[in-house]
Amino acid sequence: MTVRQLQRKQETWGKERGSVDAEQLTPLRRAPSPGAHSAGNHAGNEGRNRREFLTYVWAGTLAAMTAGTGLAAYQFLYPRRPANIFGGRFYLGAASNLPPAGSEPQENIDGRFWLVNVEDGPRAFYNLCTHKWGSRWIEYRWDHDRDRFECPACGSRFSLEGHYIEGPAPRSLDQFVIEVVKGRRTVAETMYAEGAIVSPGIPFPEAEIVVDTGTTIEGLPRMASPLKKY
């Protein structure tokens, strides 16, 4: 029996009893079809997915802004050291100004390093002995008569190339990184490779020599020195 037939039956019954007016009858509600229910669920899922997507986008944007703010704050609170101050970069000018290969080293007091120019290229040795004397580090000196570095406190000795010779020092001299800059590009630099500290090589005469006193390479263990006596 259809809904329409049922309504007609109710109207006939109401007229026969005289207690119900046909115009006051409330039509029966039809149950929603399964298709309509599925469409509603689909629309709800789309709305939820859209909200989740927007939430992820907002969270990602907020994280990126927080990271950028943190980096800017770090750079503000911990700026790079100014040029030609210990811990920063020292600009020594053109490579043509380097001392001749094999000549005596040049001391840079502000940068706390000895600049030498040997056969394989320039090197910048940190001016502190690698042996700690008591509770402090001691500056070694260049011995003009013996052509070597010597520590006045522990007696350790090192060659012009920074190799350990003898004494209580545990390793050869530490070095700062030397950068060879041409234009605005670093074309070579001091690096540690295959158990050796490699200089940047003999630079072009027009290249600029930069010593980075904020980057230190530890000297090789004394047992690896080709000049050790014992």
Q: Report pLDDT digits (tens) over 71-101.
A: 555 444 545 668 889 999 999 999 999 989 9
CA dist 121 and 203 (Å) reads 8
Strand-pairing partners, residue 89, are 212
199 in the same domain as 118: yes
Looking at residue 136, which CATH number applies to its domain? 2.102.10.10
Q: Which of 170, 120, 168, 173 is nearest to 142 (CA)?
A: 173
Confirm whether 201 is domain-assigned. Answer: yes
125 in the same domain as 100: yes
- pLDDT score of 38: 53
Confirm whether 190 is domain-assigned. Answer: yes
pLDDT band of 215, cuts 50, 70, 90: very high
Q: What's the structural domain count of the chain?
A: 2
93 in the same domain as 70: no
Q: What is the value of pTM for the model shown? A: 0.66
What strands lie across the sheet with 148-150, from one edge to the other? 141-143, 148-150, 157-158, 164-166
Give backbone dihedrals phi and psi of 93, rounded to 5 degrees, phi first. 90, -160
Where does the chain show beta strands of DSSP type E? 89-94, 106-108, 113-118, 121-126, 128-133, 136-139, 141-143, 148-150, 157-158, 164-166, 175-182, 185-189, 191-193, 196-198, 208-217
CA dist 183 and 175 (Å) reads 25
* Domain encompassing residue 61: 3-76
pLDDT above 60 (res 6): no
Q: Judge contact between 199 and 122, C-beta under 8 A.
A: yes
CA dist 122 and 116 (Å) reads 6
Q: Report pLDDT digits (tens) over 124-181.
A: 999 999 999 878 899 999 999 999 999 999 999 999 999 999 999 999 999 999 999 9
Mean pLDDT of 7-24: 54
Confirm whether 149 is domain-assigned. Answer: yes
Residue located via tokens 């940190």: 126
- pLDDT score of 26: 47
- pLDDT score of 57: 76
Last residue of a domain, one of 27, 53, 76: 76
* More reliable by pLDDT, 181 or 3: 181
- pLDDT score of 22: 44
